[in-house]
Amino acid sequence: MPGPLSGVIFIHNAFRNNLQRSQSDIKFWATLGDGDADLMASNFAFLHESLALHEMAEEAVLFPAVNAIEAGNADVYIQAHRQIDPLRDGLLEALQAKNADKAFDLIMELKPLMDAHLTQEESELLTWADENISFPDQGRLAGEMAGKIPPEKMGPMVPWMARLLSPADREGVMRMWAVALPEPAFAGIKKLVQGALRPEEWSDLTGRMPELAS
């Protein structure tokens, strides 16, 4: 049974889906000359910041805990961050400068690296964690990572995730939050998610989790 740290897969999937959309928009813009460069820059700026916050939480909490159990085990993931960071920065700069060709080259380099990194964390690091970190300690680490995200940033991230995730992932992350959060906090999350989704998407979610309708 996967432990609490497996919840990271939901934000990973949001990153994947956002990057896929960014790649499609930038490719269309670069090849056909059509697209809203300002909107692309604004959308990617949010993703850029969300990735930076996620990296920061991993490097401040999870990776030191992993290396404390097995020295050097998390270093490969830190190295991947350092490889990805300048591509993220460069892509944001290219979008803000409305340089379609450079943005296209960078997204085509960034996306496969991000996909490989996220997959490696899920297939290797999370498997290792289930074998070496108790479920209570995983829960503590997950809570500490979430605590590294400033509250004013968490508010916008919840609707962002809700819109990007598949129906099954929406259900999964809502069930995780329902268990992990105090009732008042979860009530706030539920309100944010309902406001972010189209009526048919919210109906699908409440069909999967009838308790959300109350």
Q: Where do the domains of the chain lie?
A: 1-149, 150-214
Per-residue pLDDT tens digits for 132-175: 999 999 999 998 998 898 989 888 999 999 999 999 999 999 99
* CA distances (Å), origin 200, targets 37, 100, 167, 177, 197: 30, 35, 11, 22, 8
Is residue 25 pLDDT above 80, yes or no?
yes
Give percent of the chain above pLDDT 90. 87
pTM, to two decimals: 0.94
Calpha distance 50→63 (Å, rounded): 18
How many of the other CB atoms lie within 10 Å of CB of 41? Answer: 19
What token pair was written down for 181? 């959060």
- The Cβ-side half-sphere exposure at 60, using a 13 Å CA radius, reads 14
Q: What is the spatial distance between Cα 62 and Cα 11, in angstroms, rounded to a whole number?
A: 15
Q: What are phi and psi of 35, to 5 degrees?
A: 160, 160
In this structure, CATH architecture of domain 1-149: Up-down Bundle (1.20)
Q: What would the pLDDT profile of 95-126 be if each residue is shown by its tens digit? A: 999 999 999 999 999 999 999 999 999 999 99
Question: Confidence band (pLDDT; 50, 70, 90) for 1?
Answer: low
